[in-house]
Chain A
């Protein structure tokens, strides 16, 4: 029966994809406006050495130590980026580039030099995750949603991702004003007495939490895409930050749903027997949405005399 098959095979991956996309898109709005969008890229790369190190210490592929390792690596990376930026007196993008490529390379080296290659810990998994494997085995249909025994077998990733998504929504709502003011005008925010360093560090840490949780479930491709594409597309739809954030959530959700469907069924429409990676397709859809927003979004052009005068 169609319904039970959907619940068993597709419901959890779809929900995880949606939660992961929203969790990354929310902080992504502020990162893009602060010209720090690359930090998502950086974090999702440095997560790899963190996970490998966690595995080397514990010897098992288990979520909690790996999440801790990934979070630790993310914090190390953020601190290193800050250090390179200040000591080298270079712009943040360059500092991020140096740090995340070196740490990612270190992670690959660790992966190859140790016997971790025997376990399911490889570069492809790191990039694409394994969304399709997050199946709800005990589901027999929609009524399983009310069955405690069946609910207990829902993949842990779903609960984790849902919790992180809720956390991101709460953080965005609670710190909305300081985030908005300090993103728009850092000097003014500081003169007001807002702790701008804590705010920007907090934002990056929140992004790291979203990235690490999403990485665990869906790989780093979604993370990189969702930090940038939905917020950037949303910016082209409106001139108000409040509305932009709502658009970004809508675009993130749409990307997750369409991406999952296209990955599962798209190849069949073209006569191919195999599905493609859902994570990859979700990222691709978000890119297409951004492209469409660039072409047709109502606020895509930068107009106004102010820009000329300020330049």
Chain B
């Protein structure tokens, strides 16, 4: 919980865990996404300050924290979508720039203009950019792959629809299908359940659990504390700084939630969660 002061990125790894540097290095080597000393700032105040994160392979991790805590920023800055002031990001021990094909990113649904003139299958085909290339022709095999991804999220019947004609939940599923088309090792999702209907939420969680069974890693920014225990096996709690990181049973505790949300989360609410926990 004690984060090092902003250190030059080279020293951060040592500062992180001086007792067992070898073990830490090994964890980073195995991690689909490891971040060291990440600091991001919009203007004067830091949005994310000196955060270390080592996401688990073959697991589903929820990034949790209050609004403005830097959850999305952590994802975006790791991917280089927004610039980082400092921090090293590695994917299975490699610098992220060399391992982009191992990551599929699902941005927030509201971050794009759904009036864009394109169809559902076209959006999914964007996920195949790396295999099609700049000038390569889109062949039947690519279309079949895209359709298969749409099938997995239950959207195959909508493949030739204009994307603006979809409901919010359907749009989210198309975004997920585009990520599936990338056949990545790590799936990073920014609020995949925000504003979707119950059927979509079930469909998405089933797909994500299927990914875990195929030994892929899933990291999602998540808002609904009530479903954390049911959906995820690891949590990462953040409020500008890292609060806690670990298996749900260890890290998703009343103490860490208090530390993350402060007064914004009533004690009663946390109690309810714990009751739900023991009930399951």
Contact = CB atoms under 8 A, between A and B. Distances in A.
Interface in A19-38: 33
Given A309-B167, A309-B195, A184 B100 contact: no
B79 A190 contact: yes
B51 interface: no
A184 B103 contact: no
A306 B114 contact: yes
Contacts of A310: 109-110, 114, 168, 171, 195
A309 B116 CA distance: 16
Given A188-B126, A191-B81, A303 B165 contact: yes
Interface string A115-127: 0000000000000
Nearest to A238: B117
A194 B111 CA distance: 18
B105 interface: yes
Nearest to A196: B81
Nearest to B42: A89
Nearest to A234: B117
Given A185-B111, A304-B165, A240 B118 contact: yes
Contacts of A33: 113, 116-117
Given A174-B134, A306-B167, A307-B164, A190 B80 contact: yes
Contact of A185 (B43, B76, B107, B165): B107
A110 interface: no
A305 B105 contact: no
Contacts of B117: 33, 235, 238-241, 243-244
Interface residues of A, number: 34
B100 A193 contact: yes
A186 B110 CA distance: 12
Contacts of B97: 193
Interface string B150-177: 0000000000001111111111000000
A184 B165 contact: no
Contacts of B165: 303-304, 306
Interface string A291-311: 000000000001111110110
Contacts of A302: 115, 164
A202 interface: no
Contacts of B198: none
B112 A185 contact: yes
B73 to A, nearest CB: 12
A244 B163 CA distance: 15
Given A178-B134, A187-B76, A191-B81, A306 B164 contact: yes
B105 A187 contact: yes
B226 interface: no
B164 A304 contact: yes
A4 interface: no
A187 B107 contact: yes
B129 interface: yes
B210 to A, nearest CB: 22
B169 to A, nearest CB: 8
A303 B97 CA distance: 39
Given A193-B100, A240-B117, A310-B114, A177 B164 contact: no
Nearest to B136: A177
B268 interface: no
Interface string A2-24: 00000000000000000000000
Interface of A: 33, 89, 174-175, 177-178, 180-181, 183-188, 190-194, 235, 238-241, 243-244, 302-307, 309-310
Top 8 A-B residue pairs of the complex, sorted by shortest distance between their CB atoms: A309-B168, A191-B105, A239-B162, A187-B107, A304-B165, A193-B100, A305-B167, A304-B164
Interface of B: 43, 76, 79-81, 97, 100, 103, 105, 107, 109-119, 122-123, 126, 129-130, 132, 134-135, 162-171, 178, 188, 195
Given A191-B79, A193-B100, A306-B166, 5 more contacts: A239-B117, A240-B118, A243-B117, A304-B162, A310-B114
19 contacts: A177-B134, A178-B134, A180-B126, A181-B129, A183-B116, A187-B81, A190-B80, A191-B79, A191-B107, A193-B97, A239-B118, A239-B119, A240-B162, A304-B164, A306-B165, A309-B167, A309-B169, A309-B171, A310-B171
